[in-house]
Chains A and B, each alone.
Chain A
Amino acid sequence: EAGVTQFPSHSVIEKGQTVTLRCDPISGHDNLYWYRRVMGKEIKFLLHFVKESKQDESGMPNNRFLAERTGGTYSTLKVQPAELEDSGVYFCASSQGTSLGNEQFFGPGTRLTVL
């Protein structure tokens, strides 16, 4: 069974440009999460989808970030326009949400560098 996949693995863009990150969750997982780790600090929650609906978007830093999950399958996270402080590793995770312990399965992350 394929795990959570993310594309691209690495993106280098200039300040002011737009970048779109993609996440494909494990098939059948209704819950999809976005997190990011900036400058080696803690991994911070961004938002949580249940199917195509945003369940919790309390971690989204500002309106330059837009997440979508059309059809409740894959998700995209768009940063427009990108700023220097957006550099970091963006992780996606998915879960069934019904099992004890809420095991969220993480993708390898997308490393975003904004110059």
Chain B
Amino acid sequence: GEDVEQSLFLSVREGDSSVINCTYTDSSSTYLYWYKQEPGAGLQLLTYIFSNMDMKQDQRLTVLLNKKDKHLSLRIADTQTGDSAIYFCAEGYSSASKIIFGSGTRLSIRP
């Protein structure tokens, strides 16, 4: 079945690293995504990784994929106040298929 799970809340101190974790159940997914939703805005694609990759780095963002354990994580280095948002883990199967989302992790930043 299709199920994506992630913790609901994460609080980190400004300047620290944030690590948001996600587990999924469907091993046939081709793409794993991280979307960001800021207050009052739509969902913004932050990054994605192909299911045959282990890691992807993009500036302050590092995505790690453990396909054996069906575990995906997003690390944000040097977390800033502007990183406050809800982060959604998601999976997809083809270039135009539906996306299966988790419940979202609300990241809050402490001064």
- Segment from A13-21, A42-50, A64-72, A75-83 that makes contact with B: A42-50
Name the prevailing secondary structure of the B interface residues: strand
B42 touches A108 (CB 8 A): yes
Which A56-115 residues have a C-beta within 8 angstroms of B?
Answer: 56, 59, 91, 93, 95, 97-109
User: Contact mask B1-23 → A, CB, 8 Å, 1/0?
Assistant: 00010000000000000000000
B100 touches A45 (CB 8 A): yes
**Does any Cβ of A come within 8 Å of B43's Cβ?**
yes
For A99, the chain B residues whose CB sits under 8 A away are: 95
B88 touches A106 (CB 8 A): no
**Does any Cβ of A come within 8 Å of B103's Cβ?**
yes
For A35, the chain B residues whose CB sits under 8 A away are: 99, 101
Which residue of A4, A91, A102, A106 contacts B92 across the interface (Cβ within 8 Å)?
Answer: A102
Q: Give the shortest distance, in Å, between A91 (CB) and chain B (any CB).
A: 7
User: Contact mask B79-96 → A, CB, 8 Å, 1/0?
Assistant: 000000000101010111
Q: Give the shortest distance, in Å, between B41 (CB) and chain A (any CB).
A: 6
Which residue of A31, A59, A95, A107 contacts B42 across the interface (Cβ within 8 Å)?
Answer: A107
Contact A43:B44 (CB < 8 A) given known A95-B96, A102-B94? no
Can you pick out 21 interface pairs between chain A and chain B where the beta carbons lie within 8 Å of each other?
Answer: A3-B42, A4-B42, A41-B103, A42-B103, A42-B104, A43-B101, A44-B101, A45-B98, A45-B100, A48-B96, A48-B97, A56-B97, A91-B42, A97-B95, A100-B95, A101-B31, A102-B92, A102-B95, A105-B45, A106-B43, A107-B42
Enumerate chain A interface residues (CB-CB to B < 8 A): 3-4, 31, 33, 35, 40-45, 48, 50, 55-56, 59, 91, 93, 95, 97-109
Enumerate chain B interface residues (CB-CB to A < 8 A): 4, 31, 33, 35, 40-45, 48, 88, 90, 92, 94-104
